[in-house]
Structure 1
Amino acid sequence: MDSYNVLVQNKRRSPVFQTVRSLYQLFEITIMPQITTTQQLRSVKIDFYNYEIYDGQKLIARITYDHKDLTQPWVVEVNNQEVFRRAWWQKSFDDISWYYKKGSLPVQKEDKEQGAGSMGENLSPLRPARLPLLLQQGTR
């Protein structure tokens, strides 16, 4: 048993083992967090033609439908700039996930005017909320 411990200690001191261990630690620090965050991407449907893609509470991109283009109508936008187009919505979402995982998708700026972080909650209602009947008639 004692000779086994000596053998393991000698292997851990070798330069090859040190290199492999440092590469693994680098992988854990840089790559692993990105892998877990891409699994959390979700879409928020604004309406049939507009979607926002989020990683947790962070806005990543928008997918909108362009009625003028029949071949690739789904447009992916980051910071109100077109990044790429796809023929169907799911392909757009998959490519956002792919580029976000690689780190090559442009970073969305936090800007409340664009709706970043609002998850579609700042949309104005189509009709105003109805007041309760007592408030409309006044209190008697």
Structure 2
Amino acid sequence: MARIGTLVVGRHVFDMTDGWEGVPPAGEQLVVVSHRPRPAGWHPDAPFHFVDGVARALDKARELTGEDRDIGVAAGDVGGQAFALGLVDEVAMDVVPVVFGSGKRYFGSVGTRHLLDDPHVVIRGDRVLHLRYRVRKQP
């Protein structure tokens, strides 16, 4: 399993986390999908790149990431848009025993059906189940 070189997230996640104070939560680079630029004065040396659109963000992530590492894409609207563009090869989920009464869809509004193979990685942790699924490519 390759490690993440670049992570792609949406502006909502970036804002909610205050940009992880300029330190990517995974990988060495972070690409933020946003129609707004990097906040003025915000961690000028942070390895964060602000790009308009999911396809452009993934192009930037490919440019930043070496071939021996993966590109991670956060769930939510950005993940759903990457699914819709056919750019997701694998889904990693961490399941914890918490049930919420409301919230956002895991992949936002995905307009079409996407099939996942049976999990090829299943790791049971302390109150967490780590799962990885390959995405079936449809003709």
Question: Structure 1-normalised TM-score?
Answer: 0.23
Q: How does the TM-score come out when normalised to structure 2?
A: 0.23
Q: Which has the higher strand share?
A: 2
